[in-house]
Structure 1
Amino acid sequence: MKINFKFKICILIIGSLFALTNCTDPGDDSNIAKPIALGSPIINQATDVNSNGFKISWTRVYNAENYELDIALNNTFESYVTGYQGKSVTNMYEEVNGLNESTNYFCRVRAINSNETSKNSAIIQTTTLEGNGPEPTTALKDASTTFMVGMAVKAQQLTNGSKYDEILKKEFSSISAEYEMKMNIIEPTKGNYDWSKADAIVDYAVANGINVHGHALVWHESAPDWLKNYTGTNDEFEQEVKNYITAVLTRYKGKVASWDVVNEAINDTDGSLRNSVYREKMGDDFVAKCFEFAREADPDVLLFYNDYSVTTNTTKQTAIFNLIDDLQTNNTPIDGVGFQMHIQYNSPSIDQIKTAVDKAVERDLKLHFSELDVRVNPDKDITTFTSERAIAQKNKIKEVVATYNAIPAKNKYAITVWGMKDNDSWLISHHNNANEWPLLFDSNFEIKKAHTGFLQGLD
């Protein structure tokens, strides 16, 4: 009997499969498919935000049976909203109600099944809204009884009877020149001093009983061209710096109560000394030399070191306080430290601010929050100033002021806001971003919620 050729082929294939199956080690599970690990949900920005709640949503995760949602009052999740510590949610959203108005909330979510829990999603911050009643009009300087409230000014703003003049006299007890008391303005060419703008600012303050904080004697970005390109010896360069510091402090002795002697001498990346013309010509101890020159010129003026990112950049923070430690160890005259406080509506955290503040207090320094503004559009994700961002800005300023207000009185100096109204801010002119609203007054000189936050921080 002849066997069909196709039938033979089928028999061979079946036999081969049977042999392969029987040759596999029954104890070897390497060929068994393993379950895919649960991914983390991607959490979205909250929607439908109102005064007592919002809607939060996230992406679906493959193989998730449900989700666990955390909502807290801080980004370290140490204080949970009642009912929202690992709340089980079967949908991919949650409508959260019963919250407090004008409050920051922090949310995260993770996926769950019977075998596994995923990692947490990213954390998002949401601020509930508040009513639209009028903002309180209490003057900042009247509400602040233990430290001065300052503002950065330009000489042209100080015309008697102007809106700037009216608000400045009502609200502020101290002023700093935004840029007109720096070396490239005062000594633009070697030996030729232009005192006009600085005199206008100081004379205005003296006439109106307002404190002046001098800003700033030595800053790498305000060194005039003649000094940047100096062709004399290093000793001659150092003498030029001493001559300048002496001339300025002598002129304003008894009129300017304090000075930022050196501004921004530390690198952001590794905490090293910035390789400025001052360091190149005067050596690594140029900071100490400048403080000594200032003290010789005015034995009574308060001397500050000033820098930015002190609360958020821990490498830089450590380097700044190491620099201050060296100055104090060597009996170099330094009275205080300035934190510039160019911050954002969602950063730094209270804990970050407190950590930096404590380091200043531990060293018995006066502390100046010297250049406060609060960006509400750092990611350029909004084109109008929303109520949510206005409240978040208010709450951040409240945190900043409350943290400062809690330090011992002997360590307080001033909080200086870096400009009066939003459209005057350096953030707009220097960063080409018209969609930013970082100050306490809007472009029409109207009080913002940020101003209310400052008042609330003083309570």
Structure 2
Amino acid sequence: MKNKILIIFSSIFFMLNSCSSEDNAAASNLETPIANAAKDVNDAGFKAKWNYVSKSQSYLLDVSISGDFTTFVENYNSKEVTDLNEIVVGLNGGTQYFYRVRAKNDSQISGYSNVISVITTGSSTIPEDPTFLKVKANKLANPFFVGMAVKADQLVNGSKYDAILKNEFSSISAEYEMKMNPISTASGVYNWTAADKIVAYGNANGINVHGHALVWHNAVPTWLTNFSGTDVQFAAEVKKYITDVVTHYAGKVKSWDVVNEAVDDNTGELRNTIFLQRMGPNYVKDCFQWARDAANAAGDKNLLLFYNDYATSTNIPKQNKMFSIIDDLKTSNLIDGVGYQMHNTYLNPTKIQIETDINRAVAKGLKIHISELDIQVNPTNDITSFTNERRLAQKEKYKEIVKIYNAIPAANKYALTIWGMKDDESWIPYSTDLNHVGNDWPLLYDSNFALKSAHTGFLEGLD
């Protein structure tokens, strides 16, 4: 009987000891909590929420203004909370915040939860950074040109355009007026008026002038489209045009997009343009050769020649074809750089996609020009006004792209050009090709020339 009692007590002791060990194991291996979307969002705060974690006694809440939690909102750095939610207060309106939590049991602390982003309602009370873009860029250890696309009629002394351009930008590109169609009115006949005004403005104000673009399939003048001569004569006309334009601006225009958008979006091969049809598959190389020959003949030994295209970060067949063209040009010493248009959205391309694309050109020792940057915030027409969420998402995307560009080696830097000044004058809301005709706000200034958060994001990307 005594032995049976001893066995029973031993069993009970073992079970209790086992349970205690399991409890300790659970305490030392707390599950990671799952954070939920914020509730009751207002101008000054929100309710942070998360799921229950077994064995936890409390939770540690972090709230930050940055997704990497390098800075914390005051009083919200590992704030201990005993409930499954916390009302976060004292915030700014119209501002993006991030929160995460950990479970705690005595000295045991779990890993971090997922990160939740929340944007407070109302208007931000934090003013945009008014620092001039080129001023900050010029202070970098490895500075680069900060550019903008312009129209000739904007370049009026004393205008708002004029003041912003002179204060903020160190490079300009003609949005359309230096393409073939507006300049070439007939064989050997040219209308230089608008292009000359743009070049003279840049030269007079110490602003770099980038020429855009010598050959583009969407800017072929009618007389050349309808040209009835032989293919050899057609090529001679293109050569004459390139030679005359490069010669006319020798020493005044520092760089040219020689050929623009030569690669097809769908096939990953050369686009079926009039130039391919009439000049053959070597037409891109021929155009670069003619531009280089014209510059050398005019004594312009420093002219930089670029190939320019779009959507190569996400369209890999297109990217591969672009680099096969570039490799051929580089072998013949005919190319100096690559223009990445970057007509992006607030969602894509991703950071990795952009870096991978750009780094291919960096590895080849080429200059990099982010040549036509704008960031759409309404690509699917799901908003009818510029919301705080999209405002801040656009700011972060501008910051991301500028940081990517600023990180490349000094020898590969050339310019980062914004494609237009004001939202209401951007090509994006009016483009039928983009399939989202309607409202969009893609640039650094609003319709009243006021700075946007996108401008602040650009500046932050220079840090």
Normalising by structure 2, what TM-score?
Answer: 0.74
Give the aligned partner of residue 150 of structure 1: 147
Separation (CA, whole Å) in 2 of partners of 1:452 and 1:310: 27
Give the aligned partner of residue 456 of structure 1: 460
SS at match of 2:126: coil
**Shift of residue 150 of structure 1?**
0.3
Give the aligned partner of residue 210 of structure 2: 213
Give the aligned partner of residue 360 of structure 1: 361
Give the aligned partner of residue 450 of structure 2: 446
Give the aligned partner of residue 141 of structure 1: 134
Is the Cα–Cα contact under 8 Å of residues 127 and 392 in structure 1 kept in the other structure? no
Work out the number of aligned pairs and report it: 372
Separation (CA, whole Å) in 2 of partners of 1:149 and 1:418: 11
Separation (CA, whole Å) in 1 of partners of 2:321 and 2:96: 35
Separation (CA, whole Å) in 1 of partners of 2:223 and 2:462: 46
The C-alpha deviation readout for 1:149-195, integer Å capped at 9, x for no partner, is: 00000000001111100111000000000000000000033332100
Separation (CA, whole Å) in 1 of partners of 2:115 and 2:431: 29
Is the Cα–Cα contact under 8 Å of residues 397 and 450 in structure 1 kept in the other structure? yes
Is the Cα–Cα contact under 8 Å of residues 52 and 128 in structure 1 kept in the other structure? no
Separation (CA, whole Å) in 1 of partners of 2:278 and 2:350: 39
Give the aligned partner of residue 319 of structure 2: 317
SS at match of 1:206: helix
**Shift of residue 46 of structure 1?**
9.4
The C-alpha deviation readout for 1:323-372, integer Å capped at 9, x for no partner, is: 1112223x141000000010001111111111011101001000000000
Which residue type is aligned with residue 318 of structure 1?
A: N
457 and 152 in structure 1: CA distance in 2 versus 1, 3 angstrom threshold: same
Separation (CA, whole Å) in 1 of partners of 2:39 and 2:339: 36
Give the aligned partner of residue 394 of structure 2: 393
364 and 45 in structure 1: CA distance in 2 versus 1, 3 angstrom threshold: farther
SS at match of 2:188: coil
Give the aligned partner of residue 26 of structure 2: none
The C-alpha deviation readout for 1:379-424, integer Å capped at 9, x for no partner, is: 1111111111111000000000000000000100000000001001
SS at match of 1:134: coil
426 and 94 in structure 1: CA distance in 2 versus 1, 3 angstrom threshold: farther
Give the aligned partner of residue 10 of structure 2: none
**Shift of residue 230 of structure 1?**
1.6
SS at match of 2:146: strand
Separation (CA, whole Å) in 1 of partners of 2:184 and 2:352: 42
127 and 363 in structure 1: CA distance in 2 versus 1, 3 angstrom threshold: farther
53 and 361 in structure 1: CA distance in 2 versus 1, 3 angstrom threshold: farther
Q: Does 1:349 align with 2:350?
A: yes
Q: What are the residue-to-residue correspondences of 1:107-256 with 2, within 5 Å?
A: 128=119, 131-145=124-138, 146-256=143-253
319 and 136 in structure 1: CA distance in 2 versus 1, 3 angstrom threshold: same
Separation (CA, whole Å) in 1 of partners of 2:378 and 2:116: 14
188 and 384 in structure 1: CA distance in 2 versus 1, 3 angstrom threshold: same
Q: Which residue of the other structure, out of 307, 310, 313, is the alignment partner of 2:309?
A: 307
Is the Cα–Cα contact under 8 Å of residues 127 and 391 in structure 1 kept in the other structure? no
361 and 105 in structure 1: CA distance in 2 versus 1, 3 angstrom threshold: farther
SS at match of 1:261: strand
406 and 429 in structure 1: CA distance in 2 versus 1, 3 angstrom threshold: same
Is the Cα–Cα contact under 8 Å of residues 260 and 304 in structure 1 kept in the other structure? yes
Is the Cα–Cα contact under 8 Å of residues 158 and 164 in structure 1 kept in the other structure? yes
Which residue type is aligned with residue 286 of structure 1?
A: Y
**Shift of residue 199 of structure 1?**
0.4
**Shift of residue 297 of structure 1?**
0.7
263 and 54 in structure 1: CA distance in 2 versus 1, 3 angstrom threshold: farther
Q: Does 1:408 align with 2:393?
A: no
Normalising by structure 1, what TM-score?
Answer: 0.74
Give the aligned partner of residue 419 of structure 2: 418
179 and 124 in structure 1: CA distance in 2 versus 1, 3 angstrom threshold: farther
Separation (CA, whole Å) in 1 of partners of 2:325 and 2:417: 24
Is the Cα–Cα contact under 8 Å of residues 346 and 375 in structure 2 kept in the other structure? yes
Which residue type is aligned with residue 448 of structure 1?
A: K
Q: Which runs of 5+ in 2 are unaligned?
A: 1-35, 51-63, 70-83, 101-113, 297-301
Separation (CA, whole Å) in 2 of partners of 1:360 and 1:95: 49
The percentage of aligned residue pairs carrying the same residue is: 53
Separation (CA, whole Å) in 2 of partners of 1:216 and 1:288: 15
Is the Cα–Cα contact under 8 Å of residues 339 and 369 in structure 2 kept in the other structure? yes
Is the Cα–Cα contact under 8 Å of residues 421 and 443 in structure 2 kept in the other structure? yes
The C-alpha deviation readout for 1:43-73, integer Å capped at 9, x for no partner, is: 999994878768899xxxxxxxxxxxxxxx9
> After TM superposition, what 4+ stretches of structure 1 lie above 3 angstroms from structure 2?
43-57, 93-98, 100-107, 123-131, 431-434
Separation (CA, whole Å) in 1 of partners of 2:412 and 2:452: 29
SS at match of 2:431: helix
Is the Cα–Cα contact under 8 Å of residues 45 and 124 in structure 1 kept in the other structure? no
Q: Does 1:437 align with 2:434?
A: no
Separation (CA, whole Å) in 1 of partners of 2:292 and 2:265: 28
Separation (CA, whole Å) in 1 of partners of 2:327 and 2:40: 48
Q: What are the residue-to-residue correspondences of 1:35-54 with 2, within 5 Å?
A: 48=41
**Shift of residue 103 of structure 1?**
5.9
Is the Cα–Cα contact under 8 Å of residues 37 and 116 in structure 2 kept in the other structure? no
**Shift of residue 292 of structure 1?**
0.3
Separation (CA, whole Å) in 2 of partners of 1:233 and 1:323: 26
SS at match of 1:236: helix
Separation (CA, whole Å) in 2 of partners of 1:208 and 1:124: 48
**Shift of residue 426 of structure 1?**
0.6
276 and 46 in structure 1: CA distance in 2 versus 1, 3 angstrom threshold: farther
**Shift of residue 226 of structure 1?**
1.5
Is the Cα–Cα contact under 8 Å of residues 38 and 47 in structure 2 kept in the other structure? no
Q: Which runs of 5+ in 1 are unaligned?
A: 1-42, 58-72, 80-92, 108-122
Separation (CA, whole Å) in 1 of partners of 2:410 and 2:99: 33
